[in-house]
Amino acid sequence: MQARRAARELTLILFSQIESIQNLNKFDFQDIVLKSVRTLTNNASDDLKSAAAYIMSLKEEIEEYESNHPKNLERPIEVNNIPVSLPTTSDMQNKLDELLNISEKTMLAIEIAEMAALEENSDVKEYITKITNSFKEHHEEIDEQIKKYALGWDFNRLVKMDKDILRIAICELLYVHNAPIKVVIDEAVELAKKYSTEDSGAFVNGILGKVVIENNLK
């Protein structure tokens, strides 16, 4: 996993745990590492529990389908069921898709946690520091960008996670300039899908698109 991707996620965790910009002056990288690893491993644990429940549900559905198949209903009760062809149903496909999604999220959480634990990985620390320092210096302008393009939305009532994701991405786009525009936007959208509401990905994408256009970014 790229260091910048890990840094974005760790920075989001940092931002989610502070109440005001003043508290950024007190941030400690090792504290970020500890809190982020705990957050990510807790999320991974919850996802794995969900995956286990899905797997159990699938197993029960398959067993029930096999038992109720005409080939097995015709057999004596005391004998074991024989394997039967299993049709692909949309419901089962959805559950398998969910399992794949959970597996991917868990793997990403492990990768982030591993990278966070590598104290010698100065690239992660450096990028977190760049984003954080840029936000401290330009937080008023960054929040003004969000207010300007979030038409019809009360800034104070926006989901905090959405605001923090936008803050990080706008900070990268306008002040850090270390990553391609498409990468910044795509990864901000992925963070929104992972950590925020169902509609957050589209919301974040729309705001950042306007930021790029209105600021003539290339």
Which CATH number characterizes residue 104's domain?
1.10.940.10
pLDDT value of position 169: 96
Contacts of 212 (CB under 8 A, 6+ apart): 173, 181, 185
Domain count, the chain: 1
The highest-confidence range among 74-88, 109-123, 173-187, by mean pLDDT, is 173-187
In 68-114, which ranges are E strands?
none
Count other Cβ atoms within 10 Å, centred on residue 199. 11
Task: Give the dihedral sign, CA 35/112/190/11.
Answer: positive
Mean pLDDT rounded to a whole number for the chain: 82
Query: If pLDDT is split at 50, 70 and 90, which confidence band does 66 have?
Result: confident
Q: Tokens 């492990």 belong to which residue?
A: 110
Evaluated on CA atoms 144, 149, 155, 160, the torsion sign reads negative
| Weakest-pLDDT range from 42-56, 100-114, 135-149, 180-194 | 100-114
Q: Torsions phi, psi of 215, nearest 5?
A: -100, 10
pLDDT in tens, 128-186: 888 988 998 999 999 999 999 998 888 888 999 999 999 999 999 999 988 899 999 99
Beta-carbon contacts of 47 under 8 Å, excluding residues fewer than 6 positions away, are: 102, 105, 106, 109
Write down the pLDDT at residue 185: 96
Give the whole-angstrom CA distance, residue 169 versus residue 81.
Answer: 56
Confidence of residue 98 (pLDDT cuts 50, 70, 90): confident
Per-range mean pLDDT, top range of 4-18, 119-133, 137-151 = 137-151
Residue bearing tokens 């698109």: 209
Question: By residue range, what is the domain housing residue 101?
Answer: 3-214
pLDDT digits (tens, 9 = 90+) for 172-200: 999 998 889 999 999 999 999 988 888 99
d(CA 188, CA 184): 6
The one-letter amino acid at 149: Y
Distances (CA, A) of 188 to 6, 23, 38, 66: 12, 23, 22, 44
Average pLDDT for residues 93-117, to the nearest whole number?
Answer: 71
